[in-house]
Chains A and B, each alone.
Chain A
Amino acid sequence: GAGVSQSPSNKVTEKGKDVELRCDPISGHTALYWYRQSLGQGLEFLIYFQGNSAPDKSGLPSDRFSAERTGGSVSTLTIQRTQQEDSAVYLCASSPGVGLAGKETQYFGPGTRLLVL
């Protein structure tokens, strides 16, 4: 596609339920990132995938959060047993590469707005 797409655009769930958020990066981009944007916290890094390397999970806030990237393309962010503090906009981004000048510009999707009641 022309840009990064995310689904769903909005998600309302009840506390304790699991949710899955999907990201389709720009075709050919080897790097994929998940960020979270919430009021008062700004934009926080969650997890990063680059090719076949082990993902950098250093930003995941708890073990309720996990992500996978299948076939080097689509990624799914899963939040188990959601809590109200998980309410935020979850943004996905991709870049052509990493460590190469000019290849690191990150292109963001529109985000998924998650509300946990």
Chain B
Amino acid sequence: KQEVTQIPAALSVPEGENLVLNCSFTDSAIYNLQWFRQDPGKGLTSLLLIQSSQREQTSGRLNASLDKSSGRSTLYIAASQPGDSATYLCAARLSINYNQGGKLIFGQGTELSVKP
């Protein structure tokens, strides 16, 4: 059974700091891994999707890496800003029957607070 874990559960940093959020998964047979952010009382916003054949994806100040062999993904946020404050969730998509069943297994999330 695929389990996804995120550490730390909460993180508080001063504005401008670079930071790393961690995500680990128990089953390395993933099809892709996705990172989302969730603002309080809102739905999820997709940030980055990494296919299993890729090692990293970048979007602006965000960089996500994937190491299937070790069952780990990291989300790097450069020059953090107060607007980055949100809960960040990673989710793994299993590769079994890859063209069927796109359901995601989510981690519990990391609540990030960036202080001005």
Q: Is B89 an interface residue (CB 8 A)?
A: yes
Contacts between chains A and B (CB distance < 8 A), count: 70
A108 and B101: CB pair below 8 A? no
Q: Is A20 an interface residue (CB 8 A)?
A: no
Indicate which residue in B51, B100, B104 contacts A101 across the interface (CB closer than 8 Å): B51
A91 contact set on B, CB distance < 8 A: 43-44
B102 and A42: CB pair below 8 A? no
A98 and B46: CB pair below 8 A? no
Indicate which residue in B34, B51, B108 contacts A42 across the interface (CB closer than 8 Å): B108
B100 and A111: CB pair below 8 A? no
B106 contact set on A, CB distance < 8 A: 35, 42-44
B51 and A106: CB pair below 8 A? no
The CA-CA distance from A63 to B97 in the complex, in Å, is 25
| CB-CB nearest in chain B for A107 | B46
Interface string of A74-107 (1 = CB under 8 A from B): 0000000000000000010101001111101111
Indicate which residue in A4, A45, A104 contacts B49 across the interface (CB closer than 8 Å): A104
A33 contact set on B, CB distance < 8 A: 102-104
A31 and B102: CB pair below 8 A? yes
Indicate which residue in A56, A100, A107 contacts B101 across the interface (CB closer than 8 Å): A56
Given that A91-B43, A111-B43 are known contacts, is A43 also in contact with B89, CB under 8 Å in the complex?
yes
B103 contact set on A, CB distance < 8 A: 33, 45, 48, 56, 58-59
Sampled A-B contacts (21; CB under 8 Å): A33-B102, A33-B103, A33-B104, A42-B109, A45-B104, A48-B102, A50-B100, A56-B103, A91-B43, A91-B44, A98-B99, A98-B100, A98-B102, A99-B99, A101-B51, A102-B49, A104-B32, A104-B93, A108-B44, A108-B45, A111-B43
